[in-house]
Amino acid sequence: MMAPFKRLFGEGFRVFFLAAGLYGVFAVLVWTGWLGIHAAGGTLRAVPFAMAPHLWHAHEMVFGFPAAALGGFFLTAVPNWTGARAVRHLFIATAAGLWLAGRLAIWYSGALAPAVVAAVDLAFLPVLGAKIATQLLRSPKPQNLMFLALLALIWTGNLLVHLEWTGLAADTLDAGLRVGLAGTCAMIAVLGGRVTPAFTRNAMVRSGRENGLPVSRKGVEIVGVASAIILPIAYLAGLADSVIGALALVAGLAQLVRLAGWRPAWTARQPILWSLHIAFALLGLGYLLTGLAAFGVGSAVGALHVLGIGSVGGMTLAVMSRASLGHSGRALVAPVPVAVAYALVPLATGLRWLASEISGAWYWPGVFGSGLLWTLAFALFTAALWPAFWRPRVSGVAAN
């Protein structure tokens, strides 16, 4: 019985991607269930967390769920980038325990002192950052070290949320949530901007294609990455809505121009590739909608959900499934349930955006439909890749 659990903590992708899948299901089921009770005219006041339910939902989908995906990715990828020794079982188990402790502290925050909740919830990312810093510094490259700065930005956003919850500051919660989401989206702009064209190019070359490979134009890449990184800093600095809106518009346009050069149409028959392209497209679209909302055009809530569901949810699903298959020795072909999950996330995104834009009679069907599709997507991902998390590696397939 101990062997499967030892294996679970043997590689970062196993326990953290499993945790992300399970928590993606749990967190949205709780939120959708709470909304359903209230939409039906009932009330549910006896919740274990101290904050309002919509703030619990926002915090956990900005800081709880993505942190598991980031933990699994970095603890798996960084040793490959640097040639460092693979992370040991004890550290992975400790880090996973810290992540889980943070989720439990938030869940039971109604019975805990706010300072205790903050200390526990804020512990995971510094420990993760310290570990990957020791590995990245073996082969220091600016393009990799920037991930430490992005993790610090995300952590700072969470700190701002807790400062308001502990009463040490006022009016920092909203900025903290936006910094956290924008920081995660910046991570996607950088990481997704690397792996999407690279994996597409690799697949095209393997197919015998020599011409028309993905192209990345340096100027557009710089604008796309820089604008995405500056955006959470702008939220942190409290810049005017017009400045943030302009930055978001530039970031959105830049991501879509980047994507246009990566041959997205070629991936139409390969879900494990088009999932990356769609998630990146939703990153660009989410930025554009955020920019327009800052100038009074469209719903800001709808724009945030395009980023949160479509880009963060879609890219984590795409990357986690690909890494889980590759690093467990399985073929880089999405199982049918995972391919269905890829398609459900953009549909969930569209429904949630419509609910915010149209509202009225469409609001509750859109919200519940979106929640159901998200839950089903991550349930399918978790069930289909369960063997990859728990069982031994099968005979070799490269993880790229």
Mean pLDDT of 43-55: 89
Extents of the domains making up the chain: 8-206+213-390
Taking 70 as the threshold, does the pLDDT of residue 397 lie above it?
A: no
Q: pTM for the whole thing? A: 0.95
d(CA 19, CA 22): 5
Instruction: Please determine, for residue 400, whether its predicted confidence score (pLDDT) is greater than 70.
Output: no
User: Residue 395 above 80 pLDDT?
Assistant: no
Task: Answer yes or no: is pLDDT of 158 > 60.
Answer: yes
Average pLDDT, the chain: 94
Please determine, for residue 1, whether its predicted confidence score (pLDDT) is greater than 80. no
Q: Which residue has the tokens 């989720």?
A: 103
Alpha-carbon separation of residue 252 from 28, 181, 203, 286 (angstroms): 27, 15, 26, 7
Residue 210 has pLDDT above 90, yes or no: no
What integer pLDDT is reported at residue 2 of this predicted model? 56
Radius of gyration of the chain (CA): 20
The percentage of residues in the chain with a pLDDT greater than 70, rounded to a whole number, is 98
In CATH, the number for domain 8-206+213-390 is: 1.20.210.10
pLDDT at 241: 96
pLDDT, residue 254, reads 98
Whether residue 8 contacts residue 18, with contact meaning beta carbons closer than 8 Å, is answered with yes
Residue 164 has pLDDT above 80, yes or no: yes
Least confident window among 28-32, 134-138, 319-323: 134-138
Burial 348-370, CB ≥16 within 10 A → b, else e? bbbbbbbbbbeeeeeeeebbbbb
Q: What is the pLDDT of residue 389?
A: 95
Is the confidence at residue 45, as pLDDT, over 80?
no
What's the pLDDT at 212? 92
Confidence of residue 29 (pLDDT cuts 50, 70, 90): very high
Average pLDDT over residues 355-367: 88
Q: Calculate mean pLDDT across residues 390-395.
A: 88
Highest mean pLDDT among 36-40, 145-149, 293-297, 363-367: 293-297
What is the per-residue pLDDT for 140? 76
**Among 94-103, 208-217, 306-315, where is mean pLDDT lowest?**
208-217
Give the tokens for residue 286: 């989410």
Q: Could you give the residue ranges of the DSSP H alpha helices within the chain?
A: 2-8, 12-39, 53-59, 65-82, 89-107, 114-121, 124-136, 142-165, 173-206, 218-237, 241-260, 271-294, 300-305, 314-327, 336-358, 363-384, 386-390
In this predicted structure, the answer to whether residue 87 has a pLDDT above a threshold of 90 is: no
